[in-house]
């Protein structure tokens, strides 16, 4: 199916909804072709290919909203589904903020969202990627005896959106990924690890040699780990764990949480909440990135939105509903059913991670976090963790079974070093960064 044909599906759905009595309507049609292979040792343990499509329609009448999702695109099937959705409207409360966006549009630049190489590659080459990862992790260290699987996956998709205000738009995109999960054994003690890479364009993927090598190193480097003593020291979040911290910060910045008081940032627009080093941006217009698109889930053009600039909170992130509720303007962050990140990231610094470690006389490098203990209303942060003790600017020995804790306001204010290792391998990403002091709870 072409983008034009996908738009036709969405337009017909909107027309059917209006014809059935909706005051306004919006339809999103998406279709995706997926490929996935999993290897274990020398065997293919899973091989999947699938194609799927769905139509999501939002019906609006007198401030009330009903939604439907269907894969039946026949005229009769669509009429019946819309009819059933309308039956639910009398049971929905009227809400003055419900409605289509006041202004729709598409980002005009070339976002480079499609890589023809994804669909043109032979299946045998994709299968070999997974098998090669298995060979690489096992050849890296004799202690690696198994894996939870090595994977190659890709997807090619088309999304089209239309609404009753006259907006139509569509775009195509691709995604590819490589990942592996080695299992290491040393005298009966097992350690597991995982590492992967993902991108819209295959040229932006890390090489399978690098993916396998990093995953293998992570599996064996934690042997002999100790539980550290409780202390207050600088903490460096390696970029993968830093991205998880940023994901928690996004939750506090999403207007849906702000509106219900579930954000420690409520009423703090214009306040300094971080150090001068901290600039966090949401940008849906970065070419070739996983979170980029010409418009959001409501048909609002994406844009670059500085959220925190040099430590000062500039804005929350909105969809149309919560922008109206809070007296603001949408930032193009609708997912079609809520508020989501486009490309949400901390701007990188000029140091390498190695230089950041070398400038830390004593501290902890966090390589992985475990569990969930974040309180968005108060900004309390607490996670189980594992990583390395830093002594005299060097990684001294591995540590695990400890908790790293603090408060987001204090953490952002104490950021005193940011590395240059930002990679856009997700929607929420971050370079490694150092917090000047946090509580590490161990022995």
Write the DSSP string, 279-299. -EEEETT-TT-TT--SB-TTS
| Res 375: pLDDT | 84
| Res 166: pLDDT | 96
Which residues have CB under 8 Å from 188's CB, separation 6+? Answer: none
Total Cβ atoms within 10 A of residue 241: 23
Contact in structure between 217 and 248 (CB atoms under 8 Å)? no
Contact in structure between 67 and 85 (CB atoms under 8 Å)? yes
Q: What is the DSSP letter of 301?
A: B
Contacts of 83-92 with CB under 8 Å at 24 or more apart are 83/20, 85/57, 85/59, 86/20, 86/21, 86/22, 86/59, 86/61, 89/59, 89/61, 89/64, 89/65, 90/64, 92/64, 92/65, 92/66
| Res 1: pLDDT | 86
At residue 140, what are phi and psi to the nearest 5 degrees?
Answer: -70, -35
User: In terms of Cα–Cα distance, which of 230, 196, 245, 240 is closest to 364?
Assistant: 230
- pLDDT tens for 106-132 read 999 999 999 999 989 999 999 999 999
| Res 435: pLDDT | 98
| Res 110: pLDDT | 93
Q: Which domains does the chain have, with CATH numbers?
A: 3-220 (3.30.2290.10), 231-441 (no CATH)
3-state SS assignment for residue 236: strand
Torsion angle in degrees (nearest 10) through CA of 227, 230, 233, 236:
40
| Res 59: pLDDT | 95
| Res 374: pLDDT | 78
Residues of the chain with pLDDT under 70: 373
Residue 389 bridge partners (DSSP) = 364, 397
């Amino acid at each position: 199916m072409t983008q034009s044909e996908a738009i036709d599906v969405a337009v017909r759905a909107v027309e059917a909804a209006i014809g059935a009595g909706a005051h306004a309507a919006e339809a999103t049609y998406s279709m995706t072709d997926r490929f996935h292979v999993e290897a274990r040792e020398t065997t293919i343990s899973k091989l999947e290919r699938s194609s799927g499509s769905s139509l999501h329609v939002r019906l609006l009448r007198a401030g009330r909203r009903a939604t439907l999702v269907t894969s039946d695109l026949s005229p009769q099937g669509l009429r019946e589904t819309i009819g059933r959705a309308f039956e639910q409207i009398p049971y929905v409360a009227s809400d003055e903020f419900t409605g289509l966006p006041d202004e729709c549009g598409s980002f005009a630049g070339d976002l480079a969202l499609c890589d023809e190489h994804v669909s043109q590659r032979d299946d045998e080459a994709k299968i070999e990627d997974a098998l090669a990862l298995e060979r690489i992790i096992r050849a890296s260290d004799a202690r690696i005896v198994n894996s939870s699987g090595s994977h190659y996956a890709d997807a090619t998709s088309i999304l089209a959106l239309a609404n009753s205000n006259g907006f139509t738009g569509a775009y195509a995109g691709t995604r590819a990924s490589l990942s592996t999960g080695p299992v290491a054994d040393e005298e009966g003690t097992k350690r597991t690890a995982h590492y992967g890479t993902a991108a819209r364009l295959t040229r932006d993927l890390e090489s399978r040699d690098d993916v396998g090598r990093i995953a293998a190193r992570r599996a064996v480097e934690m042997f002999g780990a100790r539980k550290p003593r409780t202390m207050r020291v600088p903490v460096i979040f390696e970029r993968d764990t830093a991205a998880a911290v940023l994901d928690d910060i996004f939750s506090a910045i999403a207007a849906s949480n702000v509106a219900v008081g579930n954000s420690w940032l409520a009423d703090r627009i214009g306040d300094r909440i971080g150090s001068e080093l901290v600039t966090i941006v949401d940008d849906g217009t970065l070419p070739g990135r996983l979170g980029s698109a010409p418009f959001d889930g409501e048909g609002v053009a994406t844009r670059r939105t500085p959220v925190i600039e040099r430590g000062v909170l500039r804005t929350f992130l909105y969809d149309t509903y919560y922008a109206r509720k809070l007296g603001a303007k949408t930032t193009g962050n609708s997912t079609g059913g809520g508020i989501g990140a486009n490309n949400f990231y901390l701007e990188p610094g000029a140091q390498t991670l190695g230089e950041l470690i070398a400038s830390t006389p004593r501290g902890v490098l966090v390589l992985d976090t475990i569990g969930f203990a974040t309180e968005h209303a108060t900004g309390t942060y607490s996670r189980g963790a594992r990583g390395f003790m830093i002594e005299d600017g060097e990684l001294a020995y591995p540590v695990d079974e400890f908790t790293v804790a603090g408060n987001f306001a204090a953490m952002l204010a104490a950021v005193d070093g940011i590395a240059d290792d930002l990679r856009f391998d997700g929607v929420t990403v971050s370079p490694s960064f150092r917090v000047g002091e946090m509580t590490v709870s161990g022995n």
